[in-house]
Structure 1
Amino acid sequence: MIKDKLFRAARFYKRHGLRNFMVHLIQKTLGVESDYNKWFLRHAPDKSALNAQAEIKLSFKAKFSVIVMAGSDSQQRLKGTFLSLTEQTYANWELLSIGREDQKLSDSGVVFVEYDKNSQIAEILNRAAEKCSGDYILFMQPGDQLAPNALFEIASEIEKGGYSAVYTDEDKIEASGIRHIDPIFKPDFNLDLLRSTNYISNSMVISRRVLRDIGGFKKEYGEGCILDLYFRIFESSAAIGHIPKVLYHSKQTSAKNEIAQIDHMKVLRDHYSRMGIDATVSGSNLDGILRTRFSTDGNPLVSVLIPNKDHIDDLDKCLNSLLNRSSYKNMEIIIIENNSTDKSTFEYYDRMSRTHKNISVMEYKGDFNYSAINNYGAGFSKGEYILLLNNDTEIINADCIEEMLGHCMRDEVGIVGAKLYYGDGSVQHAGVIIGLGGIAGHAFVSLKKGDSGYLNRENCTQNYSAVTAACMMTKKSIYESVGGLTEEMQVAFNDIDYCMKVRKKGKLVVYTPYAELFHYESKSRGQDDTPEKARRFNSEVERFAKRWPEILKDGDPYYNPNLTLVRPDFSIKD
């Protein structure tokens, strides 16, 4: 037993080096090693891999300038940052330290940038950027560290993709310096998520040329000047890359920036102003998350398509929520009748269409084919926007339609999805992840109402690869341009396929948590519990896989490959 433990200890030392070995030993002794910390150590490159990496000669020869803002208590922490740079496998870097004269590091290799205590942070950062000799700049806080392979991985990514800016995943190091905690596994660039919350946070490496071309940092944003820079990089159409590896480690701190949300709101409002977008920005009841309401000027007609077969109790609940709860009134509601057998169903149709002039019933006589039924109904629609809606849904918030419509009216957006709940209030849909469960699955299924989920993602407006057609708004012009829903996919994945077709046209898919509905799920059709239905489902799985092999092979860009595809909770892959 002792011999085995000594062997494992020696192997760990050989793989991870002295410093990681000592940290690991302390953790084991104190019993504080977390599951994530174990995961991190298991996935970090070992000593031999780092040595081999240091011998690789990249054709990309760019120099990195790392700028660190010193503080009154940061001398020792700054040394930790400097040490992490000396361990890099990519050696072409420089460190610039911003501070007062008494905060100057003794190491002669550090470029010191003195600042006036009355200077604004943007002025200080601009002064430091002017002193840089590197091609790319990274801003760090004192005490934050880079993984030893960080600059090599970033240089490789820039060489491969020609990016002007690259960000990485990150985590925190406990104040004791012993273990890694709180990982942030980020998606590839996600515009609407960035507008909701600063998910990029630290770890963005930026081309010095781009920084100069877009005018550097703006002092009017205070501590939000770096976030403002992220938006202006996007606005410049510069290519932004993401490396799904934990390469940045921030020092754990309990300090809370009370003005951060105010800065974020001003940054976001000015971003919309520069883009010519009519939108209002407000805070939310969640720290660090903002809400944007986009204008619905013009009051366009929305055509609501609702397939139905009997189950008029469910349909009545759905219609009542549209007619009586929704504050948006310029709607036409098209019920697409498909092989109902109850006399009461047709009596209900007649009563509702006579009572409400905006309700019509169109009969589709073919066998159940969700795609064909909706395509048939869309042919009768007069609106600029189509809302595909299941008959077993019920609007919760009065501004549900306005919320979806505001996003759908944006030029760059093709599809908008909503947040759906089961009858018990738990989450039924908060976006779709391609690859989850094999082909595609809903995010955060069964998360209890009020729970935050992973990094509050279920409460953030964001881009996804797909959303469910149980409640999906789209431009009619786009619907027609891609041929509507693919009718060969009768039941399963036709909505995901539609999202993929729209994304292929360069349009965004938006999920908004501010459009909320109950979804009582598949009551009309029933479950896939017969051999025939199972065969049909399997054939549609195969059809989707053949139509979209790249995303299944390469992974969903709005999900992180370090997260599981087995559960919908964004937990770390085993």
Structure 2
Amino acid sequence: MNSRRDADKAAAVVQVFATALGRLPERPAVEHFVSVMETLDAPFADVTAVDRMADMIVGSDEFRQRYGAKHESDVLFVRALFRDALGREPTTLEYMRFARRSSRASVLAEVAGAPEILGRFDPFEWLYPHGAPVQDDRAYALWAERYDSEGGPKDAPLAADQKPSITFLLNVPAWRFDLLEETLASLRTQTHPGWAACVAASVDDFRTVERLLDGACKDPRVRVLSVPPDVDARQVAFQAAETPFIAFLEPGDRLRASAVQFIAEALAELPETALLYTDEDRIDAHGRRWGGRFKPGWSDDQLLGGDTIGQLAVMARERIIAVGGLDAATACVRTAEACDVRQWSVEERERAFQLAVKLRVAEATATDQIVHLPRVLFHRGRGFSGPSQMVAARASPHAPVFVEHAVVARHIADCRPGLRLTEASLDVAGPTTHSMLWPRVLYPLPTVMPTVSIVILTRDNPDLLARCLSGLLYDTDYPAFDVTIVDNGGVEPEAAALLRQLAADPRVTVRRIDTPFNWAALNNEAARGTSGQLLLLLNDDIEILRRDWLDELVRQALRPGVGVVGARLLYPDGTLQHGGMALTPDGATHILRYASSGEGGYLGQIGWQRDMLAVTGACLLIHRALFEELGGLDEEFRVTCNDVDLCLRVVAAGRRVVWTPHAVLTHIDGATRGRDYRSDRQVRFFRETARLIGRWSALIASDATINPNLKLTDRDVLLAPPADQHGCPEGGR
């Protein structure tokens, strides 16, 4: 029962139970009644779900025990139902209205829709008390009805001398006349009048569009433009736009009625914005919403993986002109298609064009001028193109290459020739005939590679350490590294013998430090004895899986503005241990722990490189100069939270923390120091977590790794009631 069409039925069951019986239904009861109503859809298509549910419940034994066996309504029944369900007497007007109702079912159905009932019982929260699977369309429809329905800001009329700030550009193909009115209707219902629309149609279709939109054309904000033969309609519309910002729409797309209002407020708050994007969903002909896409905040270079922005995308018109206008995007698409082995469809060309424009704008825009507004303001309708892949991953090596991949490759060739776009499997064993292939950008390595000083703490873990060093010394392609092993009070002869053997390698230094275990202090002391330009903190319970792991970390670290890089760590069974961390008021949570090794996660969140606030210290690469500038790890965090604190200080210093899925290692989580199961260790963990949260509460509150409409657990990303920060623009994240 996961269809979006079940959402109104599930809500009806909860509403009617609460009204008629004074309690919420058991979950099996919800499933039963929804199933029954499904069978009634065909013969009773014009009857609402609440009416059907009311008809069924008035015949139940429990209802009859409360109100008697009569089917007819009377004043006594109306009064009793109001008292029981609403806790009050009916008003005079309500008495008069219900006096005309002959059946108890019709009275019950109307009372079940009273604001007091809807406000008291939340079908979404009751059906999904811990959050819902984010891909569950029934859950999303309930969420949208409860938390994302209209009734937003009030109309804010423009001042007499104020002009619209956003122009929506629409190109009308000859077969999309029927959908254009839907889109313009959604614009005419905007609560904020600061918009304009340029509708481009061919010369042959111009009069047809004018007649079709006779009402809309009387609105001075809507201009219908005639496009001569062999002229790009989008170019005509763009040149006619006079506002600071533009956005592309397709016939059939709809905007939330308060979309322009929210966007205008965000742009007023962040006036330097060059690119703003929102969350989106899909909408059918009956207005039912489904397929919600709750996007994370901005990460540098995220568009190189595909159209991760999607819709709605609002761009500064002057910025588009500065990067070559629409001509540059059109040329990019034409060249990309010419290099493909197949001809693209009209839908694919439109997707490719919009991505090409975004790529050009993002390429010339500072991170703090790209804003994510985490509200569902765009409803993708029945237009021809459909939603693009957020990250352009192919289902198998035999699947055709997405047009997004081809456009990114062309963009890189034009604007970033030092980069190379490839594809890679997330499967540990490498690609197979059934492996999904994810886009991967190979950033350049310099001719003279920087030395990486690797610090490993150990104590009497000879088997783990031997496996770790074997991979480091003999299965790592990157040539410029040295290793410092810190023996923190080891006593086992086998471990001592291994350390003597490892010290014979000129790349390895072994140090003995017999102080009480303090992960931060030991790493700081070891780092002071090394000299590499890059410093890698590595656990001794790490096993190397791919020879290029250190190449990938260094490639990422040498990107402009990057301070720290983290890796994809797997458990010995191949499931995910570390895909980056998200921060909440409760502390740090690993993203999608236990996901399968080839899984990319919701919207590709663990299939593509991304900026985060923190990565784990089990494998953490940092620039030495930055490490020293920050004073190393905070030794007050003796065992936990020291890595997260370091990352947050890096971000506070204006540098970036990046996680990559293409540096892959096995991590036996907890093997280095043991699990924190003892009560004293648990106390220390909570004490250090509380200190971390107290120090960084403001920065933690701004973490845009996970959309604020979603809730992160160790294993899942769940749809949840929106948090207090819902809707705040995330500038530069």
TM-score by length of structure 2 reads 0.70
Q: Which amino acid aligns with 2:252?
A: G
Moved more, 502-511 or 559-568: 559-568
SS state at 1:96 partner? strand
1:289-438 aligned at under 5 Å gives the runs 289-297=438-446, 298-354=448-504, 356-435=505-584, 438=586
Moved more, 512-521 or 561-570: 561-570
Q: Give the corresponding residue for 1:243.
A: 373
Q: Give the corresponding residue for 1:25.
A: none
Q: Which amino acid aligns with 2:298?
A: F
How far is the alpha carbon of 1:284 from its aligned partner?
4.5
How far is the alpha carbon of 1:414 from its aligned partner?
0.5
SS state at 2:456 partner? strand
Q: Give the corresponding residue for 2:331.
A: 220
Q: Which amino acid aligns with 1:54?
A: D
Q: Give the corresponding residue for 1:272.
A: 416
**Does the 8 A contact of 2:563 with 2:650 survive in 1?**
yes
Distance 1:13 1:97, change over 3 A: farther
Q: Which amino acid aligns with 2:356?
A: D
Q: Give the corresponding residue for 2:357.
A: 229
**Does the 8 A contact of 2:199 with 2:223 survive in 1?**
yes
Q: Give the corresponding residue for 1:166.
A: 276
For the pair 1:97 / 2:184, whether they are aligned, the reply is no
Figure out how many residues of one structure are paired with residues of the other and give that number. Answer: 544
**Does the 8 A contact of 2:537 with 2:621 survive in 1?**
yes
Q: Give the corresponding residue for 2:338.
A: none
**Does the 8 A contact of 2:592 with 2:713 survive in 1?**
no
Considering only aligned residues, what root-mean-square deviation do their CA atoms show, in Å? 2.6
Q: Give the corresponding residue for 1:23.
A: none
What fraction of aligned residue pairs are identical, expressed as a percent? 27
How far is the alpha carbon of 1:393 from its aligned partner?
0.8
**Does the 8 A contact of 2:539 with 2:672 survive in 1?**
no
SS state at 1:376 partner? helix
**Does the 8 A contact of 2:436 with 2:598 survive in 1?**
no
How far is the alpha carbon of 1:153 from its aligned partner?
0.2
For the pair 1:81 / 2:183, whether they are aligned, the reply is yes
Q: Give the corresponding residue for 2:405.
A: 261
How far is the alpha carbon of 1:13 from its aligned partner?
13
Distance 1:283 1:77, change over 3 A: farther
Q: Which amino acid aligns with 1:41?
A: E
**Does the 8 A contact of 2:545 with 2:665 survive in 1?**
yes
1:84-233 aligned at under 5 Å gives the runs 84-100=186-202, 101-102=204-205, 104-106=209-211, 107=213, 108=217, 109=219, 110-116=222-228, 118-119=230-231, 123-162=232-271, 163-174=273-284, 176-217=285-326, 218=328, 219-222=330-333, 223=349, 224-233=352-361
Q: Give the corresponding residue for 1:537.
A: 685
**Does the 8 A contact of 1:197 with 1:289 survive in 2?**
no
**Does the 8 A contact of 1:89 with 1:152 survive in 2?**
yes
Q: Give the corresponding residue for 1:518.
A: 666
- CA displacement, residues 292-340 of structure 1 (integer Å, 9 cap, x when unaligned): 1111221221111111011110111111111222111221111111111
Quote the Cα distance in structure 2 between the aligned partners of 1:443 and 1:402: 24
Higher Cα Rg, which structure: 2
How far is the alpha carbon of 1:84 from its aligned partner?
1.0
**Does the 8 A contact of 1:420 with 1:517 survive in 2?**
yes
Q: Pick from 39, 53, 56 the counterpart of residue 154 of structure 2.
A: 53
TM-score by length of structure 1 reads 0.89
Quote the Cα distance in structure 1 between the aligned partners of 2:385 and 2:225: 27
Quote the Cα distance in structure 2 between the aligned partners of 1:14 and 1:332: 65
**Does the 8 A contact of 2:589 with 2:714 survive in 1?**
no
**Does the 8 A contact of 2:412 with 2:419 survive in 1?**
no
Q: Pick from 615, 618, 622 the counterpart of residue 474 of structure 1.
A: 622
- CA displacement, residues 387-418 of structure 1 (integer Å, 9 cap, x when unaligned): 11111011111111001101111231111111
Q: Give the corresponding residue for 2:717.
A: 570
How far is the alpha carbon of 1:258 from its aligned partner?
4.8
Quote the Cα distance in structure 1 between the aligned partners of 2:361 and 2:190: 27
Distance 1:317 1:290, change over 3 A: same
Unaligned runs of 5+ residues in structure 1 are 16-31
- CA displacement, residues 105-129 of structure 1 (integer Å, 9 cap, x when unaligned): 432243223335644xxx4323211
**Does the 8 A contact of 1:434 with 1:440 survive in 2?**
yes
Quote the Cα distance in structure 2 between the aligned partners of 1:38 and 1:486: 45
**Does the 8 A contact of 1:565 with 1:573 survive in 2?**
no
Q: Which amino acid aligns with 1:232?
A: R
Q: Give the corresponding residue for 1:36.
A: 140
Moved more, 394-403 or 554-563: 554-563
How far is the alpha carbon of 1:62 from its aligned partner?
4.0
- CA displacement, residues 160-191 of structure 1 (integer Å, 9 cap, x when unaligned): 111233111111224x4442222211122211
How far is the alpha carbon of 1:75 from its aligned partner?
1.1
Distance 1:232 1:431, change over 3 A: same
**Does the 8 A contact of 2:557 with 2:564 survive in 1?**
yes
**Does the 8 A contact of 1:421 with 1:428 survive in 2?**
yes
**Does the 8 A contact of 1:370 with 1:490 survive in 2?**
yes
Quote the Cα distance in structure 2 between the aligned partners of 1:295 and 1:164: 28
Distance 1:91 1:242, change over 3 A: same
Q: Give the corresponding residue for 1:19.
A: none
Distance 1:8 1:193, change over 3 A: farther
Q: Give the corresponding residue for 1:550.
A: 698
Q: Give the corresponding residue for 1:26.
A: none
SS state at 1:316 partner? helix
Unaligned runs of 5+ residues in structure 2 are 1-19, 21-53, 55-106, 120-135, 334-348, 389-400, 426-434, 722-733
Moved more, 502-511 or 92-101: 92-101
How far is the alpha carbon of 1:231 from its aligned partner?
3.4
Q: Which amino acid aligns with 2:452?
A: V
Q: Which amino acid aligns with 1:83?
A: A
**Does the 8 A contact of 2:710 with 2:718 survive in 1?**
yes
Q: Which amino acid aligns with 1:115?
A: V
Moved more, 90-99 or 491-500: 90-99
